[in-house]
Amino acid sequence: MRLKIWFRLAIVSVLFLTAACATMDYGRASKPRSGLTLQEWRRSYLPT
């Protein structure tokens, strides 16, 4: 039962992250690209 909850949480978080990446990418109006890798996303949007 708990496994289903975690599975649903994982799907929702992945979808949310994908949407957030796409939205931020469009918002920056930088050169168009198909998608961001996780490392690029962390380097671009998270403070180091």
Distance between CA 2 and CA 48 in Å, rounded? 34
| The total number of structural domains that make up the chain | 1
Residue 4 has pLDDT above 90, yes or no: yes
Going by the DSSP 8-state scheme, the letter that residue 33 receives in this structure is: -
pLDDT per position as a tens digit, 5-48:
999 999 999 888 888 877 776 656 555 455 556 667 667 666 65
- Indicate yes or no: pTM above 0.85: no
Query: d(Cα 9, Cα 25) in Å, to the nearest integer?
Result: 24
The answer to whether 36 touches 21, Cβ cutoff 8 Å, is yes
Give the structural domain span for 25.
Answer: 2-45
